[in-house]
Amino acid sequence: MMYNKIIVYSQYIERNMIIMRILYIVNMDENNRKGLFMATHEKIKEIMKCHPENEYEIISVQFCDKGIFRFLKKLTGKKTYDRTSDEFIYDAVKYRKVYLSIDLKSKEIEKKDDDQFRFKEFFEQCSDSIEKCDMISCHWGYPHGRIAYWANKIYKKPYIVTYHGSDVHTMPFADESIRKKVLEVMNNAVQNIFVSRKLMETARELGHAKDNCTASRNGVNAEKFGIISEDKIKEIKEKYKISGKVVGFAGAVNQVKRADRIDVIFESIKKQDPDTEYTYLVVGDGPLKSSLESRCKEKNLNVVFTGNQDTDGVRDFMNVMDVMIIPSRREGFGCVVTEANACGASVVGSDAGGIPEAIGIEDNVINDGENFEKRMAKRIIDVIHSEINRKELSDFTRNNFSWEKIAEVEYKFYVEGEK
């Protein structure tokens, strides 16, 4: 079995060099390198960098529609999941891809309490990897966490699960069967890591009562997110015809991110601060983009829609923003907050999930409820007209929330769990 393998003779504990084989089971789509993808990748990459004495293998569990289930989805115009490559490499880190079939039979098995057979394809392809590993680190609670759960039952391998958002605050609350299974995963884990304290509290609401849990926020890649040159900012503004104060949104343009109300926020800013020139940015794509774009045109709002951007593009647009908004209805942590701060942009957001923890400034957190959009607009205007030292904000964020520090929180549980 091919491992991301680097061995150096450098670390000794009580005169014995620790060499562990760590198997990662992740939920990562190489065609959507944002949010969950980047948070998982950056943490794993940093652990590998700081602890090269270990052996690592990373398996990205993906899905493939088959049979009548695939036919019906195509017939109704729904997105199908297809088998593509067997691996991908990003930042010199290799990800092996293992596919689980989605068909009528698999859907039926998922409903059962004993869902071990649902993961038969995984165990047939990965039994050697599981047998060799000392610790399993799983990123995503369901169904990925169930694979770790059954690997523990069958192979007696300890596991840790990191939860990122909707695997706790949405899926288990929408389906009682998933709730029971996620709780089994949590109860049986060496440790459960949540990307925010709020998400950990939500797990308590779900029914998790054991002490095997901790909150560890996501970090920021200081090499990728930071302040760019004034010449580069000027170039971007000229290219996209951006002028005045800049308020932006970066993320999936969907219901969960409250993208259906972004135009209302922008319009409220315009009404409350008519003497200030504004350009609004929407960086990203999603199912609500077309309707949002139409409403912004109808309201005569000066909005630039950039579409999806790679990491460098997101960084550049964050540098152009004076204020970034994150009005989400639900959120695990909100990596985009830390990334924006690293680029010198202030952030105003909702009180959903871990957003308040990520923002860290109480006045910049807007409670949900009546006149939400109007209240958010008012705070954005206040921040726009205040004195913010972009460099100080960037330096503080990059120095205090590096992935190196945050990755060590997870790694210590590998050592403790392997004993």
Torsion of CA 255, 319, 266, 294, to 10 degrees: -60
Tokens 């007696």 correspond to what residue?
A: 156
Distance CA 172, CA 230 (A): 46
Q: Alpha helix locations (H) across 133-196?
A: 144-155, 166-169, 171-174, 176-188
Average pLDDT, the chain: 91
pTM of the model: 0.81
E strand intervals along 157-274: 159-163, 191-194, 213-215, 245-250
CATH class of the 230-400 domain in this structure: alpha beta
Q: Which residue spans of the chain are classified as CATH 3.40.50.2000?
A: 4-219+402-418, 230-400
Q: Which of the residue ranges 177-181, 231-235, 307-311, 401-405 would you say has the lowest mean pLDDT?
A: 401-405
Write out pLDDT tens, residues 332-379. Answer: 777 899 999 999 999 999 999 889 988 989 999 999 999 999 999 999
Mean pLDDT score, 73-85: 88
Three-state DSSP class for 263?
helix
One of 3.30.413.10, 3.30.110.40, 3.40.50.2000, 3.60.15.10 is the CATH number of 4-219+402-418, namely: 3.40.50.2000
